[in-house]
Amino acid sequence: MYKKFTAFGCSCFSYASLKILLKVKLITIILLSAFLQVQASGYAQTVSLSVNKVNLKEVFRQLRKQTGYGFLYREADLKDTRPVSLELRNAPLDEVLERCLANQPLTYHIEKNFVMIRRKPDLGSAVTVPGIIIQGKVTDEKGEPLAGVSIRVKNIRQSTVSNTKGEYKINVPNEDAVLVFSYIGFEVQERKVLKSTVINVSLKEKNTGLNEVVVTALNISREQRSLGYSAQVIDSVALNVAPTDNWLNALEGKVAGLTLNRADGPMGSSDIILRGDKSLQLGNSGALVVIDGVPVSNKITASGAGAYVSDNAPIDMGTGIGDVNPEDIASVSVLKGAAATALYGSRGANGAIVIVTKSGSSQKGLGISFSSSTAIENVNRLPDYQYEYGAGANSGIDYYSYGTSDSGANTSNANASWGPKLNTGVKYYQYDPATQGQGAEPTDWIAYPDNRKNFFRTGFKTSNTISIEGGSKTTKARFSVANQQNTYILENVGYQRTSVNLSLDQQINKDMKIATKVNYYNKSSDNLPTTGYSNKSASYFLLWTTPNVDTEWYRDYWKITNGIRQVDIEQNRPFNKNPDNPYFALYEILNPMKRNGLFGNINFSYKISPFLNFTAKTAIDMYDDVLSNRFPKSSDSYSQGFYREQNVIRYERNSDFLLSYNRPFNRDVKFGLSVGGNSMSSSYNRTRAYVNRLLIPGQYTLANRVDRPVIDAYKENKAINSLYAFTNLSYKEYIFLELTARNDWSSVFASNNNSYFYPSANLSLVLSDMFKVNSSVLSFAKLRLSYAEVGSDTNPYRIEKFYSASNFSSSITNPTSLPNYELKPERTKSYETGLEARFLRNRIGLDLTCYLADTYDQILSVPVEPASGYYYYYMNAGTVRNNGVEVQLWGKLLESKKGLSWKINFNGAINRGKILELKEEIESLGLYAMGSTGVSLQAVKGGSIGDIYGLAYQRNENGDIVYANGVPQLTTEIQKVGNAVPKFKGGIGQEFRYKSWTMNILFDGEFGHQKYSLSNSMLMARGNSKATLPGREEGGILGKGVVQNDDGTWRPNDIVVSPSVYYAAHYDRTNAEANVFDASYIKFREFRIDKSFSSKSLQKVGFKKASIGLYGRDLFVWTKWPGFDPQNGTLNDGTIVQGIEIGQLPSTRNMGVNIRFSL
């Protein structure tokens, strides 16, 4: 009873609160300092001990070797303890500890894998000593109360610990006494008592970052030092510096080697690319995203198809992963290489993002916290439009007339701005929005500067999260509710998302535990924007409008005929008839969506014996999407109106088990073996129905139709079963070796090819410990080496030929892609080596990684000669080699006693993706083509990933551009004109702290890559860019180039052409060379300034802590890019295409305020 008392009784509240803090601190930081000694390793639960009069220190050492538990204690506390004599065999650790500490002034507590040893709180005896009673409160720098802080009186055996509120009370003999405050992870502080009886103390966090714990594959927590491969951890604070629509985007600039391919629009879906594209199929290189051990879909739900002049233009409806509330995330581990993810199997081949969500804590009482962000959003960059010349089809047109007038024939249908000069005082007959026709009188021919900018409004976003947590000794629970509202920069566009998250953790008995995490979310939007270059997209309209037009004139978007507004029947397109009226497009061509999603898992773990652990888990990720698209009559794509509904139900189940055996061989060698299995089954069901002609205008249901609705359904089912094993060996805590093996069986292959095996190995050498380096310069050094193979499968239904249903009755047709029964798994082999080092007492850190990964036997849909009857044949072909270097550097540049600190960290990555091999008969593989313009992404043997191809200027042998009739000529064959993969990308983040103030600044950038811009072509060829002004006054331009003489020699071009001819010929969209630009950029990515409060008044109101922060995201962009944003990709057919910009939406600047408090 007494033992129980010491362990959990009188000090239980402080231990309970200690747990919370330990959870926070231990996961991220374990301290090595003069005061505390930490040693940690694997864990075993029973011990045998045979000691005779051995001091406690030695006993702890032996226990550590046997159990793998780290022991935390202060040297001083062991001073006056008695030697131990004990004889125990296979006794539980608890028992051994209790026996050892019986009759000692010590007590213990087990948290995670550590045994904390501390003095027994001496509250009782304090009363007996006469003197002064001092009380106060201990907090951290942010004013958050610290529980479990040890407070002792210097040179006297008198001590206590702070309670959950951080309060303490201690008896001191006199005014000269000195109180010593110490706490794990914090610097020790001494305070003289003097005359005060209240001493409040704010402890400063130690600068550490030493033994970080990383959540690796299969959700296994490992110490950073034991990993033989690169893994980077981002904590929830870093994720929430400047909240974004899709939290993934908060990783931007923070992880070396991570690239986000982002789509346009409010949802901000992105593909996560780690260490470059490995696949020759677009959209196939994305990293796996795992939440609490559950792979969650990062598949983009996109309505629509092609981005380039398609009736069915793409719309980004978001991803499952984007719907996670960032406030629920505890940490994110980025496992970049195949070695890190060999245990995730097929889907981990491209690396993995492993997310751990927040759990409850076993603190007593409630913990309620609230976070609220409100932000505004506006366009952060516009192309350089010209506002000097108005509409006119070509340079020969020297007047303007809306409709036929005294000035001449109608010129207002021009889509170009080669017309008369604006703002000269001249008057023309122009459009009158009031009458939707020609103005009664000629009006001033003026520019409407900012007419494009004013088309966008200021977006507004709010996000609120409330979470409640609490628990007891055996139960931990956390519950959160969040709501997010977004109104986008385009009118009538936005969405809302509500999510509910529950985490429950129950210790059934001392060996068994069940836990569950469930996340439900509901997302809906009344309208999401159409992207790409098509008549109804906002970007299309902006490329077609001219400077003499006020976009406000389009607001009255129904046509008035004979005084009657043709609501639902005919739109008003006052100027060129190609773009839909933009307000008609935003308010009437609607793309609403609704999604209900759920992901979560149920986890059972059982400690079969002290050395043997069993866990089993079932997880599910599912969602149900209801999307629709509506087009009123008279819309450009569907003149008779159109309505479509699409329902998607997707689910994926993962069930797995893991049996782990861990037992140290002896004091130096530790061994662990785990065997596990996983069964995955997924299904995707999509039903789509549309009606192409509406019976009654303005009503959008499948019943409102002229013809029968056309229905198509698509299903995809897949299963993968796997068995895996891994073993960990360590020697003296400085050599760590891990070997893994996995076999997958995938249902997508034929039975003779559906089983595939792959191994991996990684080694970590802690050099600084190996060679016992004890230097003030080098604090830590570690070398990593790894090798891994991974096999991947593909989409189902590629092994056997099936006929497709045709829309004609009683009719089927051959597929155009020929399946291949012999398909076998795609393979990746990767090698990685890395060095971690820290200098100057851990004030400067370096992490360097080199890697090489070959992805071969890629499963590709390879174009074949159509005379064979097929366009494509699925086969294993092609090898892509990615190699690169990643660097992370961090340093604490300033750390003053007054509380000022300055931290800086830098990350950078270089990746080169080479196509080593394609199949012999394949010259090149088209990855994406922009219609029939020749502009495309091609994979060619010996070329690089991301090579942009297209027609270029035809040149003579001297490299001069060949002209004919005054305009440049183009090559007849496509050639390489650029590469879309940055040569280098990196970010620099800084953190400044001063007392309760914190400031974060992040810049990042990508350099040395190119991108094709359709927007540039349109703006140049139509005279809407400032760059088309030269030559206008003169009325003609003599192009710089040569013309061929009859005898084959060259003479300089001698034909002057008008600006409209000149620019249209140069920047024609098929001229890839002229429209490819350096897409390098630097972005001021994140900014935040935070103030935390810890004043007493705050606490009187009942707050534990509170903070307010101002933040900004994507504040400025520096780039030569001629369009809106050099970074965003083009959403096309559900994948994001990099390198070819096809009418993009602007990128936005976000500025907001974030308030947090907890009760």
**Residues 1109-1128 within binding reach of other proteins (CB under 8 A):** none
Among residues 9 and 396, whose Cβ is nearest to other proteins?
396
User: Which range of residues in 32-40, 228-236, 631-639, 994-1002 is near other proteins by CB under 8 A?
Assistant: 631-639
Paired tokens of 585: 């497009």
The residue to which tokens 């650790």 are assigned:
93
* Exposed/middle/buried for residue 173 (C-beta within 10 Å: 0-12, 13-18, 19+): middle
User: Which range of residues in 294-302, 329-337, 859-867, 893-901 is near other proteins by CB under 8 A?
Assistant: 859-867
How near is the Cβ of 24 to other proteins at its closest, in Å?
35
Q: Which of residues 563-622 bind other proteins (CB under 8 A)?
A: 577-578, 606, 608, 614
- CA–CA separation, 323 and 966 (whole Å): 55
Among residues 871 and 1050, whose Cβ is nearest to other proteins?
871
Among residues 5 and 803, whose Cβ is nearest to other proteins?
803
User: Which range of residues in 132-140, 323-331, 550-558, 746-754 is near other proteins by CB under 8 A?
Assistant: 746-754
User: Which range of residues in 6-14, 51-59, 85-93, 803-811 is near other proteins by CB under 8 A?
Assistant: 803-811
In this chain, which of 722, 792, 849, 1000 binds other proteins, going by CB under 8 A? 722
* Exposed/middle/buried for residue 878 (C-beta within 10 Å: 0-12, 13-18, 19+): buried
In this chain, which of 5, 665, 714, 771 binds other proteins, going by CB under 8 A? 714
SS3 readout for 1004-1062: EEEECCEEEEHHHHHHHHCCCEHHHCCCCCCCCEECCCEEECCCCCEEECCCEECHHHH
The residue to which tokens 């346009």 are assigned:
264
How near is the Cβ of 396 to other proteins at its closest, in Å?
6
CB 1128 within 8 A of CB 263: yes
The residue to which tokens 């506390």 are assigned:
77
* Exposed/middle/buried for residue 103 (C-beta within 10 Å: 0-12, 13-18, 19+): exposed
Among residues 56 and 1043, whose Cβ is nearest to other proteins?
1043
- Tell me phi and psi for residue 1001, to 5 degrees: -135, 135
User: Which range of residues in 142-150, 322-330, 740-748, 773-781 is near other proteins by CB under 8 A?
Assistant: 740-748
- CA–CA separation, 370 and 1103 (whole Å): 11
Strands 201-202 and 132-139: parallel
Q: Which of residues 357-416 bind other proteins (CB under 8 A)?
A: 394-396, 409
How near is the Cβ of 101 to other proteins at its closest, in Å?
32
Helix axes 1014-1021, 1059-1066, angle to 10 degrees: 170
Among residues 361 and 605, whose Cβ is nearest to other proteins?
605
Other Cβ atoms within 10 Å of 725 Cβ, number: 18
Among residues 918 and 981, whose Cβ is nearest to other proteins?
918
Among residues 233 and 951, whose Cβ is nearest to other proteins?
951
DSSP character for 1075? T
Among residues 715 and 1120, whose Cβ is nearest to other proteins?
715
Among residues 43 and 1067, whose Cβ is nearest to other proteins?
1067
Q: Which amino acid is at 119?
A: R
Binding mask 913-952 for other proteins (x = CB under 8 A): --------x----------x--------------------
Binding mask 668-687 for other proteins (x = CB under 8 A): ---------x-x--------
How near is the Cβ of 938 to other proteins at its closest, in Å?
14
Closest CA to 312 of 692, 860, 792: 692
User: Which range of residues in 548-556, 840-848, 870-878, 1137-1145 is near other proteins by CB under 8 A?
Assistant: 870-878
745 is an interface residue for other proteins by CB under 8 A:
yes
Q: Which of residues 1026-1065 bind other proteins (CB under 8 A)?
A: 1055, 1057-1058, 1060-1061, 1064-1065
Among residues 1004 and 1068, whose Cβ is nearest to other proteins?
1068
- CA–CA separation, 982 and 669 (whole Å): 45
User: Which range of residues in 323-331, 442-450, 715-723, 1003-1011 is near other proteins by CB under 8 A?
Assistant: 715-723
Which are the contacts of 755, defined by CB distance < 8 A and separation ≥ 6?
Answer: 743, 744, 745
How near is the Cβ of 1055 to other proteins at its closest, in Å?
7
753 is an interface residue for other proteins by CB under 8 A:
no
Among residues 969 and 1132, whose Cβ is nearest to other proteins?
969
In this chain, which of 732, 801, 983, 1040 binds other proteins, going by CB under 8 A? 801
797 is an interface residue for other proteins by CB under 8 A:
yes
Closest CA to 380 of 315, 450, 453, 316: 453
Which are the contacts of 1020, defined by CB distance < 8 A and separation ≥ 6?
Answer: 1027, 1028, 1063, 1066, 1067, 1074, 1075
Among residues 393 and 852, whose Cβ is nearest to other proteins?
393
Among residues 437 and 869, whose Cβ is nearest to other proteins?
869
In this chain, which of 804, 975, 1029, 1120 binds other proteins, going by CB under 8 A? 804
Other Cβ atoms within 10 Å of 871 Cβ, number: 15
In this chain, which of 752, 868, 1045, 1049 binds other proteins, going by CB under 8 A? 868
E strands of 112-265, at which residues? 114-119, 132-139, 150-153, 159-161, 167-172, 178-182, 189-192, 201-202, 213-216, 220-223, 231-235, 258-262
In this chain, which of 174, 752, 774, 809 binds other proteins, going by CB under 8 A? 809
Among residues 805 and 1101, whose Cβ is nearest to other proteins?
805
* Exposed/middle/buried for residue 958 (C-beta within 10 Å: 0-12, 13-18, 19+): exposed
747 is an interface residue for other proteins by CB under 8 A:
yes
Number of residues that bind other proteins (CB under 8 A): 90
In this chain, which of 80, 406, 441, 707 binds other proteins, going by CB under 8 A? 707
- CA–CA separation, 518 and 524 (whole Å): 20
Paired tokens of 542: 């902006």
User: Which range of residues in 168-176, 187-195, 617-625, 858-866 is near other proteins by CB under 8 A?
Assistant: 858-866
282 is an interface residue for other proteins by CB under 8 A:
no
- CA–CA separation, 320 and 298 (whole Å): 6
Kindly give the residue spans of alpha helices, DSSP state H, lying in 260-314.
none
- CA–CA separation, 972 and 938 (whole Å): 17
In this chain, which of 173, 815, 899, 1036 binds other proteins, going by CB under 8 A? 815
1068 is an interface residue for other proteins by CB under 8 A:
yes
- CA–CA separation, 1099 and 166 (whole Å): 12
Strands 114-119 and 984-994: unpaired
83 is an interface residue for other proteins by CB under 8 A:
no
Containing 93, the helix (H) or strand (E) segment is helix 93-101
Measured between alpha carbons, how far is residue 541 from residues 456, 1025, 1143 in Å? 12, 15, 10
718 is an interface residue for other proteins by CB under 8 A:
yes
User: Which range of residues in 251-259, 423-431, 828-836, 867-875 is near other proteins by CB under 8 A?
Assistant: 867-875
24 is an interface residue for other proteins by CB under 8 A:
no
Q: Which of residues 963-982 bind other proteins (CB under 8 A)?
A: 964-967, 969-970, 972-973
- CA–CA separation, 475 and 277 (whole Å): 44
512 is an interface residue for other proteins by CB under 8 A:
no
Q: Which of residues 634-663 bind other proteins (CB under 8 A)?
A: 636-638, 657, 659
How near is the Cβ of 44 to other proteins at its closest, in Å?
18
How near is the Cβ of 722 to other proteins at its closest, in Å?
7
How near is the Cβ of 932 to other proteins at its closest, in Å?
7
* b/e 377-414 (16+ beta carbons within 10 angstroms → b): bebbbebebbbbbbbbbebebebbbbeebebeeebbeb
